[in-house]
Every structure is written in C-alpha cells, then in structure tokens.
Amino acid sequence: MKDKIVFAVQLGTLSGIWFFSIGVVVWVIHLVRLAATLHDMPGGSLGISIVAAPIFVTVAIVLTYVFFGMRRVRD
C-alpha cells in the first residue's frame, strides 16, 4: 500500500512539472504573438522565454529521467 502511495505522489509530481513546463512555453508563445499583434517590440517576451522556458523544460526532463531511473532500479 505504501509503495502505491509513493508511486502516485511521484507520478503526480512528474505530470505536474510537465503541465507547468508546457504551460510556461504556451504562455511565452502567447506573449510573443500578442506583441506581434500589437506591433510592439517582443523584447521582454523573448527575454523571458530565453531564460524561463529552457529552465522549466530541463527540470522536467531531469525529473523524468530520475523517475524512470528509480523505477528501473527498483524493478
């Protein structure tokens, strides 16, 4: 029973970080498109996207790697 709870929490964390990362990328794309629509300089949006999007995606990839690595060692 304890193993199932731990697995559920790990899977919830993993899916949560992926949803959050995808949300950040979609938000940044929306900001860039909005700046283009308003004929504004997309400098702020691009600055945020250059820093934020790769960080969140990298954290999601590392968490996925650790999760599946731990599952493989355990099985």
Query: Which one-letter amino acid corresponds to residue 16?
Result: G
pLDDT digits (tens, 9 = 90+) for 43-53: 777 787 788 88
pTM reported for the whole predicted model: 0.75
What is the rounded CA–CA span in Å between residue 63 and residue 55?
A: 12
Structural domains of the chain, count: 1
Domain carrying residue 33: 2-74
Task: Please write down the long-range contacts of 49-57, taking CB distance under 8 Å and 24 or more positions apart.
Answer: 52/24, 52/28, 53/21, 53/24, 53/25, 53/28, 56/17, 56/20, 56/21, 56/24, 56/25, 57/21, 57/25
Report yes or no: 11 and 49 within 8 Å, Cβ to Cβ: no
pLDDT digits (tens, 9 = 90+) for 5-43: 988 988 899 999 999 999 988 988 888 888 888 888 777
